[in-house]
């Protein structure tokens, strides 16, 4: 699990934030060999995306299921077993100790890796306080990152701005997966804390999750290839 051993072309994860399996299949067809790793979240997942994930995995694509699980340990464990059986590579869970422990134990012996979401990036200190927490965002992110590492979590999802600080906390044995990526010149949309692919890699990100700059591009394949070129250059590969 040494991040340095990740194939450069596997570092781009394209978010299939699309409303239907038909739309997703058309995008996958367009992207062809340019993209090997896809993220499926709530929108597509609840619209037929789970059978699609299984089919894509059997066709050699890597799948990140962004399901952000959180429930009692037994329920999480059974859900993780089902996700592993789909052939997914990454699954997100919320970074609560019970949830992370159950997920890590349930993925043992499979190729599924568990990513922890520390604090949702839409939360600020006042949102945490309203939810009953006393810690501020940065302290809770750090505490949960340490717990994630101690519990054997495989990776952490973070904004690229947090990547360098997280890397110092968790060392290089945990994957850092960062959304909020915008190639120079692309529209920011609703993302506020953004970085270019090259800067995110330099900050310590292992995998970059990119949605709209690829799937809404006039030429999605060219957009993906441009990101690959930027990643390779940043890696000195
Ligand atoms: O279109 P865009 O590149 O902004 O998509 C980023 C993807 O990463 C979306 O699927 C979004 O839900 C996800 N994500 C994010 N910020 C987080 C966690 C996940 O943008 N903190």
Mean pLDDT of 187-192: 81
Q: Kindly indicate the confidence band of residue 4, based on its pLDDT and cuts at 50, 70 and 90.
A: low
Which sequence positions are flagged as catalytic?
68
Distance in Å, CA 193 to ligand 1 centroid? 11
Model confidence over 127-161: pLDDT tens digits?
999 999 999 999 999 999 999 999 999 999 998 98
Average pLDDT, rounded, for the chain: 94
* Long-range own/partner contacts, residues 42-48 (CB < 8 A, 24 or more apart): 42/66, 42/67, 43/17, 43/18, 43/19, 44/16, 44/17, 44/18, 44/19, 44/20, 47/19, 47/20, 47/21, 48/20, 48/21
Whether 118 lines ligand 1, by a CB cut-off of 6 Å, is: no
Local confidence band at 195 (pLDDT 50, 70, 90 cut-offs)? very high
pLDDT over threshold 50, residue 8: yes
In this prediction the pTM is: 0.95
Ligand 1 contact via 17 beta carbon (within 6 Å): yes
**% residues pLDDT > 70 (the chain):** 98
How far is Cα 153 from Cα 133, in angstroms, rounded to an integer?
23
Is the CB–ligand 1 distance for residue 224 below 6 Å? no
CB 76 within 8 A of CB 106: yes
Q: What is the pLDDT of residue 187?
A: 84
Residue 180 near ligand 1, beta carbon < 6 Å: yes
Contact 193 CB / ligand 1 (< 6 Å): no
Stretch 84-94: mean pLDDT, rounded? 98
Q: Of all protein residues, whose CA lies closest to atom 3 belonging to ligand 1?
A: 211
Distance 66 CA to ligand 1 centre (A): 10
User: Ligand 1, closest atom to CA 191?
Assistant: 4
- Which contacts qualify for 30-33: CB closer than 8 Å, 24 or more apart? 30/220, 30/221, 31/214, 31/220, 31/221, 31/224, 32/221
For the chain, domains (ranges, CATH) are 8-235 (3.20.20.70)
Distance 94 CA to ligand 1 centre (A): 15
Q: Ligand 1: which residue has its CA nearest to atom 8?
A: 179
């Amino acid at each position: 699990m040494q991040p340095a051993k990740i194939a450069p072309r596997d570092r781009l994860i394209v978010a299939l934030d699309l409303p239907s399996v038909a739309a997703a299949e058309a995008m996958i067809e367009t992207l062809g060999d340019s993209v090997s790793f896809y993220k499926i979240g709530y929108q597509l997942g609840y619209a037929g995306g789970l059978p699609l994930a299984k089919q894509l995995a059997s066709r050699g694509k890597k799948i990140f299921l962004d399901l952000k699980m959180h429930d009692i340990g037994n329920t999480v464990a059974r859900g993780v077993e089902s996700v592993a059986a789909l052939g997914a590579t990454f699954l997100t869970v919320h970074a609560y100790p019970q949830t992370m422990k159950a997920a890590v134990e349930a993925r043992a012996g499979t190729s599924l890796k568990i990513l922890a979401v520390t604090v949702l990036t839409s939360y600020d200190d006042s949102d945490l306080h309203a939810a009953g927490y006393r810690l501020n965002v940065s302290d809770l992110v750090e505490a949960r990152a340490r717990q994630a590492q101690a519990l054997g979590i495989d990776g952490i999802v973070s904004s690229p701005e947090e990547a360098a600080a997280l890397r110092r906390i968790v060392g290089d044995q945990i994957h850092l997966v960062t959304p909020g990526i915008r190639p120079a010149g692309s529209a920011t949309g609703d993302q506020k804390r953004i970085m270019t692919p090259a800067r995110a890699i330099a900050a310590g990100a292992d995998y970059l999750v990119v949605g709209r700059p690829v799937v809404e591009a006039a030429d999605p394949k060219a957009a993906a290839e441009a990101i690959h070129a930027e990643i390779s250059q940043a890696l000195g590969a």
